[in-house]
Chain A
Amino acid sequence: MSALQSIDLAIDLKSLTKVYGNGVQALDHLSMRVRRGEIYGLLGPNGAGKSTLIKCLTGLVHPTQCRGTVLGYPVGDPEVNRQLGYLPENASWPEHLTAGQVLDFAGRLHGLIPKERRRRVAELLNLTGLEAWKDDRPQHFSKGMKQRLGVAYALVGNPELVFLDEPTDGVDPVGRKEMRDLMRNLREEGKTVFVNSHLLGELELICDRMAILMRGRVVRQGSLEELTLESCRYEIAVSGNLLVNPGLQDLVQRLGGTVSLTPDGVESRIELPTRRPQLVQPVVDALRHEGYLLLSVTPARQSLEELFMEAIRTGGEFHPRETGD
């Protein structure tokens, strides 16, 4: 990562701090690097500073101290807005405009000529499946439809970097799948997608890399593979009770593993904290030698949810704060 030039980075934050007027520190010397053309996920409990971070990056909130760039522009430079798309978490749609007019208005803000605007609006309504509702006012929309309109609004200016704050919130399973496909399409077009979501399963499916934010700091950052590398393990399922076999237990313990018995007492489970199959062989050999029936030998790693929960556990005491998240 260090070899990356800043031209390859959509977001390059060396240090970002935000202290609100009431003294609440929302972001604490946060550093983050997001590559161009990737889907980057941001995780964190409520009050971790996720929304504040996005607001700082989109220029809505002024950082207290900041060294970093967004698409090569200093953070907060309004010039970058032309290349940004943003779906806020709680978008409040104008009551006097229909969905089509909302998108047309966004096109005007981007300076698109009428012909281009009409084409772009039709394209986005089609992309988000809102053609049938283009003449309806968004306040009558369901949450999912509002989210889809928000995505369309964010994409009007054909931005290079798209911030999506809880894009699948309130969206049904079909809509979520469509949203994931949409994000993948954006990535294929070379755009960078920065997505903030509580739905860890969603992020796990689409993100190239992600960060876990806690108390205004990035505590983990990388691809899912990199993040879960340390948690790689092998799980061996065996028929019979291994707890009555001290020799095997001793071998497993020497390799740093654990032995457990299923609640029904019929099967045993061995967990070995390694990603190297060679280290599993002595245990497999010993089990065979002792005549145990091997049910499965599976390489396993933490899920994103487990990783997230562990980060929260190890992140120290957590006190939710009122930062607008």
Chain B
Amino acid sequence: MRAVFAIANDTLTLLCRRRLFWLNIWLSVAVVLVVASMNCGKDGWSIGFGLRSWNSGYLIKGSIWEKTLFFGVVRRAALWWVAGAAPLLALFSLASVVPKTLKSGQAALLFTKTRGRSEVLLGRFAGGLIFAAIPALICVTGLFLTLGWRTGVWEPRLFFSIPFALLFFSVVAAVTVMLGVLTKSSSASLVVALIFASSVIALQDAAARPSAVDEEGELNGLVRASGGSFALQAIAWPLPRTQQLTEGMDRAIGLKSPRLFRELIRLWQVGNVHVGATAVEVLDATQELPADEVTPLKLGEAIMVTTGFCGMTLVAAALMLNRRDL
């Protein structure tokens, strides 16, 4: 196990010396700064620490829309940056690590000093995970502090976005590692892993969509719809549950807005035309928030299936590596 830690540490050192790592860190800081630069005053709200401001009758200090704004922005920052783009950037760095490790000159140095080849693979993967966790931790800590500073809401559950982000990352990282073993090419493994990830997201999204309901409230084309849906769900079942995990993460971080964020966006656009929205308009925009669709049980299943997929992919990679001549 010491060898696994040593290789994970080495992988982390290697990855942290790359420019992409610093780009990832600075972009994470930039995301936090953008969120922190937003502020609601008594006459409206501003961005860029007051650089650009808009008058508003509802988006003002202490209003429910202030929380809606910050909760919505922080949730999206967590989802799109922490669990989306930042792991993707980390993946670009990680993709070349395994193919380089398998090159003759490096393989001879590394694999002759470990008890099993899977130790090397596991160490590389673990190092990659820690590497992806660094920008996520920085960004989430920044968002947590910003949210507390701006709204007075100190929500520690925001940190739940990190394990979710790492779970998303571990899936594509495991696939990249396996493809790296298979092809020994960083670009090929990266491209195929990204295609795989996109396909899984699209497939899970399609499988999670409710069947269309016709005007009379019944399922439209019941046989066709259920047949297609069943087949999709069967294919999607063993694959990473991206849809459920995304919803689960949203639920886990606990930033339930008092109003729908998209309504705030709509109001803001309207508000730009009619400066200072009327109370009627604001009330019109308030809607009942939809109930959570992902139950803890479903989320648990999604986490288990996704973790299992990741583990099986790594086992497949280790088996392939063990059969290979280096």
Contacts and interface: CB of A to CB of B under 8 A. Distances in A.
Contacts of A79: 115
Contacts of B114: 78, 81, 109
A60 B107 contact: yes
B116 A78 contact: yes
A105 B325 contact: no
| Category for how many chain A residues contact B | 20 to 34
A60 B111 contact: yes
Interface in A57-80: 58-62, 78-79
B17 interface: yes
A20 B106 contact: no
B52 interface: no
A81 B13 contact: no
Contacts of B115: 78-79, 81-82
Interface string B3-45: 1011101100110010000000000000000000000000000
Given A20-B325, A92-B103, A111-B2, A59 B112 contact: yes
Given A60-B108, A111-B3, A96 B113 contact: no
A72 to B, nearest CB: 16
Contacts, number: 76
Interface string B274-301: 0000000000000000000000000000
A60 B2 CA distance: 21
Nearest to A84: B112
Given A78-B115, A81-B113, A62 B325 contact: yes
A183 interface: no
B109 A91 contact: yes
A153 interface: yes
B195 interface: no
Nearest to B110: A109
A196 B153 CA distance: 69
Given A58-B112, A78-B115, A90 B104 contact: yes
Interface in B113-166: 113-117
B323 interface: yes
Q: Which 4 A-B pairs have the closest CB atoms?
A: A92-B105, A108-B6, A88-B108, A109-B113
Given A86-B108, A88-B109, A109-B110, 18 more contacts: A55-B108, A59-B112, A78-B114, A78-B115, A78-B116, A78-B117, A81-B114, A84-B112, A86-B109, A90-B105, A91-B108, A92-B109, A93-B109, A96-B14, A97-B10, A109-B3, A109-B6, A109-B114
Interface of B: 2-3, 5-7, 9-10, 13-14, 17, 103-117, 323, 325-326
Interface of A: 20, 55, 58-62, 78-79, 81-82, 84, 86, 88, 90-94, 96-97, 105-106, 108-111, 153, 157, 324
